[in-house]
Amino acid sequence: MEDTENKGKERGEIFSRAIRAGKRTYFFDVKTTADDEAYLTITESKRRFNEQGKFFYEKHKLFLYKEDFEKFLNGLNDSIEFITTGKAPERPAQENVYVSQAETDEKGLTTERHSIEFEDLTSESENSL
């Protein structure tokens, strides 16, 4: 486990922790916005090889803002509880924001349709400006 504080502060990074987990490394970086608001980025990094045999790092990044911490943790904890116990948590499920449905079109090909519900997104983003 690697722990770095104040490294790269000039880029808004104020805390960083790297967790090595098998073939993956997870980076938890606390950064600040121009308005000095802290937020978290979670990056998953996996070492991959291209056709020529040279390696590169495939990265996936998630940005998590302070106002979403509790909902994120609840969802994560509920998911972990379900995986470990096989039972759905007692807490009522929060409203689904993202739903993916596989469908078969008229040619018999499977397609995926996504339904996203972002109620009051415009008013929330305007309030944060």
Which of 3-7, 25-29, 53-57, 118-122 is modeled with the greatest confidence? 25-29
Contact 66, 78 (CB under 8 A): no
Q: Above pLDDT 70, what percent of the chain?
A: 62
Mean per-residue pLDDT of the chain: 77
- Higher pLDDT: 93 or 103? It is 93
pLDDT at 118 over 50: no
Average pLDDT over residues 6-33: 85
pLDDT tens digits, one per residue of 37-92? 999 999 999 999 999 999 999 999 999 999 999 999 999 999 999 999 999 888 76
CB count within 10 Å of CB 57 equals 10
The CATH number given to 2-127 is 3.10.450.700
What predicted TM-score, i.e. pTM, was given to this entire model?
Answer: 0.59
CB count within 10 Å of CB 68 equals 13
DSSP string, the chain: -EEEESTTGGGTEEEEEEEEETTEEEEEEEEE-TT--EEEEEEEEEEEE-TTS-EEEEEEEEEEEGGGHHHHHHHHHHHHHHHHHSS--SSPPPPPSEEEEEEE-TTS-EEEEEEE--TTHHHHHHHT-
